[in-house]
C-alpha cells in the first residue's frame, strides 16, 4: 500500500498541552475585494498560508516533506510558484504518525482584468504535499478577486 496523507488548509493550527491539533478556519478559497474601476490588483498573504499535515513515513532515516502551490492554468510539469521544503529525521524502525502545522513563506497574488465588464476573477491553485518526492495529498486553493463599489471594500478588510 502506498503512502497516504492529509492536507488541510486553514487559518491556524493550535496544539494543546496533550498534543492534540485543533484546526481553526478551514478554507479552500480566499476572497479579495477591489475597487470597481481597478484594472490590476494585488493581495499579499503576509502571514503565508497555514496547513495541517499528517502522514506516516514509510521508513526510518531522513524524510523530505514539501508543500507546493501550483497554478491550475499551467501544465502539470510546470514549476510551482511557491514551495516550502523541510527535512526531518525519523528514528523509529516502525515510524509513528507525524502531525504538524506548516506555514508557507509570505506571498502575493497579482491579477489584471483582460475582459472589460468582468467583475470577478478566480485564480485556481492547488497545494500539493510531497513526501520523499511522492505526491501524497493535495487541496484546492482559489483566490477570488471581486470588483465592488468603493464603499464596500472596507467592510471585509481583504483588499490589498
Q: Please report which helix (H) or strand (E) contains residue 126, including its range.
A: strand 120-131
Percentages helix, strand, coil for the chain (3-state, rounded to 5) are 5, 60, 35
pLDDT for position 125: 92
Q: Which residues pair with 13 in a beta bridge?
A: 23
pLDDT for position 135: 92
The domain spans of the chain are 5-156
CB 92 within 8 A of CB 60: yes
pLDDT band for 94, please (50, 70, 90 cuts). Answer: low
pLDDT above 60 for 24: yes
Report the C-alpha gap between 147 and 132 in whole angstroms: 42
pLDDT above 90 for 151: no
Altogether, the residues listed in the chain come to a count of 160
pLDDT above 70 for 98: yes
In the block, residue with C-alpha cell 504535499:
129
* Higher-scoring residue by pLDDT: 159, 32: 32
How high is the mean pLDDT of the chain? 85
pTM: 0.82
Q: Report the relative pairing of strands 134-148 and 29-35 from DSSP bridges.
A: parallel
Tell me, what DSSP letter sits at residue 68? E
Amino acid at each position: 500500500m502506498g503512502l497516504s496523507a492529509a492536507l488541510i488548509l486553514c487559518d491556524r493550527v493550535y496544539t494543546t498541552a496533550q498534543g492534540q491539533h485543533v484546526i481553526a478556519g478551514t478554507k479552500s478559497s480566499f476572497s479579495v475585494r477591489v475597487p470597481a474601476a481597478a484594472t490590476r490588483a494585488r493581495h499579499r498573504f503576509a502571514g503565508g498560508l497555514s496547513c495541517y499535515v499528517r502522514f506516516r513515513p514509510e521508513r526510518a532515516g531522513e524524510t523530505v516533506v514539501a508543500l507546493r502551490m501550483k497554478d491550475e492554468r499551467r501544465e502539470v510539469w510546470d514549476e510551482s510558484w511557491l514551495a516550502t521544503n523541510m527535512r526531518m529525521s525519523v528514528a523509529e524502525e516502525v515510524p509513528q504518525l507525524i502531525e504538524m502545522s506548516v506555514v508557507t513563506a509570505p506571498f502575493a497574488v497579482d491579477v489584471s482584468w483582460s475582459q472589460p465588464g468582468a467583475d470577478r476573477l478566480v485564480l485556481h491553485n492547488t497545494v500539493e504535499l510531497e513526501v520523499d518526492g511522492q505526491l501524497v495529498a493535495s487541496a484546492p486553493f482559489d483566490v477570488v478577486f471581486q470588483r465592488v463599489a468603493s464603499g464596500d471594500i472596507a467592510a471585509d478588510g481583504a483588499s490589498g
